[in-house]
Amino acid sequence: MEATKQSGSCHCRKVTFETTLAPDKVMSCNCSICNRVGALRVFVPATQFKLLTGADSLTDYQFGKQHLHHTFCKVCGVHAFASGNAKDGSLMYAVNTRCLEGVDVTKAEVTHFDGRKL
């Protein structure tokens, strides 16, 4: 599938964003937070992500080695995306495809990542 522009949000829609990605291949991580949240993520460079509204509604949570900023809406609690640095040092976003409008995540190919080992 080719990357296309997608719109996403948290549940209460205080946090909205646009991203360009292909939601047909997603990653499921078994680390302690991703496992509980149930996120199915696609990683994109910062140039393919734009926060439209809700910067003031986001809360940041980090744990372990603090590789990712697990941001979530402080109103509804939804984890729409996370951010961090790629191996080359550039900013990237881990978009929760479950928060994208009109995307059926049951049709996506899921790759499992063993985040418990980090």
Q: What is the pLDDT of residues 2-52, one digit of tens each?
A: 899 999 999 999 999 999 999 889 999 998 888 899 999 999 999 999 999
pLDDT of residue 98: 96
Q: Residue 10 is part of which domain span?
A: 4-102
Compute the half-sphere exposure of residue 69: CA atoms within 13 Å on the CB side of its CA.
Answer: 12
pLDDT at 65 over 80: no
Tell me if 107 is assigned to some domain: no
pLDDT value, residue 27: 94
Number of domains in the chain: 1
Q: Quick check: is 50 in a domain?
A: yes
The answer to the question of residue 117 being in a domain is no
Which CATH number is 59's domain given? 2.170.150.70
Measured in whole angstroms, how far is the alpha carbon of residue 46 from the centre of its chain? 12
This prediction's pTM: 0.91
pLDDT of 97 above 90: yes
